Structure 1
Amino acid sequence: MNRKYTIAILVNDQPGVLQRVSGLFGRRGYNIESITVGASEEPGLSRMVIVTTGDDHTLEQIQKQLYKLIDVIKVIDISSNPMVGRELGLIKIGAEPSMRPEILGIVETFRAAIVDIGPSSLIVQVVGDSEKIDAMIELLKPYGIRELSRTGVTAMNRGAK
């Protein structure tokens, strides 16, 4: 049965590592739904968080193949334990001044923020799980989404682990 997996990969911070990891997924026919990469708590190491779909066998194969890459230090299935996952979305919408109070109501309901105001547009920033971002986008569609940028999911397991 296919489901969504969130995998954290600790890698050496070297040129080409992202290309090798994403290339492995592509060659094997595994889809990357989102990928984020940034510094980790260890100097010289980066953390990649990849969201992908498949079954348990697919996940096992992905883990085995990743460990074959020289710069991969550790692979963790974050989604196998309680986790915190967040994504950031920036949404530019058409917004004449007369429509802004209505839009502000939506923004406040989602605990989002307006981060830029232009003569006929607004940029809304929303942070949360992917479902929250999706819901915010759906509610803002009627106002005319001019531009949309999402970071992809970054995640950690809950607790002291």
Structure 2
Amino acid sequence: MIVAGQSQSAYFLEEDIPNTERSHTLSVLVDNEPGVLARIVGLFSGRGYNIESLTVSEVEHEKHLSRITIVTTGKPPVVTQIMHQIGRLIPVHRVTNLTWLGETIERELALVKVAGKGEIRDDALRLAQAFNARIVDATLESYVFEITGTPSDIDRFVSLMTNCGLVEVARTGLAAVGRGKIGM
């Protein structure tokens, strides 16, 4: 089942969706079985489109269903075509473009390692407090912070930490759900 607006045509564009390249968050509900992710990713790579973020996790253990959240950039007709092609795969139950649904709740988790001493170390702690980042590891020479937020919040935090001795960043990828009753 494809959820991409009113029409199911690959060439349909809603009037309020501009025909410009932009970021799209797709949510795909699939059977949890080997090879499904490779086939879905293959649809993107076969057409030369980049996946900016990809997260996968089992969401219904009893039914063996997993949710794949994909962030990509493209024009609406291309994204719609990819959605329809994903939807035709046998183990796919539903494809939803969360971007087209309107308001979504998006979060990402990052671990950020910062090394420094003295005043730089104090600056890193103050910034972490301002962003509600949690210290998950501390030594005399470094901190590892855990931060959860929107991708833009994490980007800002990482950017500010470069001045405090940023060493390493690990990000989980985007998790997203639609607001209200609509969702997946």
1:88 and 2:146 matched: no
CA contact (8 A) 2:56 2:66 kept: yes
**One-letter identity of the residue aligned with 1:55:** K
Can you list the C-alpha shifts for 1:55-103, whole angstroms capped at 9, x where unaligned? 1101111111101221111000111121000001111111225533221
Cα separation, 1, equivalents of 2:118 and 2:57: 38
Number of equivalenced pairs: 161
Q: Which residue of 1 aligns with 2:32?
A: 13
Cα separation, 1, equivalents of 2:165 and 2:91: 44
Q: CA deviation at 1:49?
A: 0.4
Structure-to-structure mapping, 1:66-81, within 5 angstroms: 66-80=86-100, 81=102
1:28 and 2:44 matched: no
Using the aligned pairs only, state the percent identity. 39
Q: CA deviation at 1:46?
A: 0.1
Q: CA deviation at 1:2?
A: 0.3
Cα separation, 1, equivalents of 2:124 and 2:140: 15
Unaligned runs of 5+ in 1: none
TM-score (norm. length: structure 2): 0.83
Instruction: Determine helix, strand or coil for the equivalent of 2:146.
Output: strand
Cα separation, 1, equivalents of 2:94 and 2:83: 9
Q: CA deviation at 1:54?
A: 0.5
TM-score (norm. length: structure 1): 0.95
Cα separation, 2, equivalents of 1:131 and 1:101: 24
After superposing on structure 2, the runs of 4+ consecutive aligned residues of structure 1 that deviate more than 6 Å are: none
Instruction: Determine helix, strand or coil for the equivalent of 1:40.
Output: strand
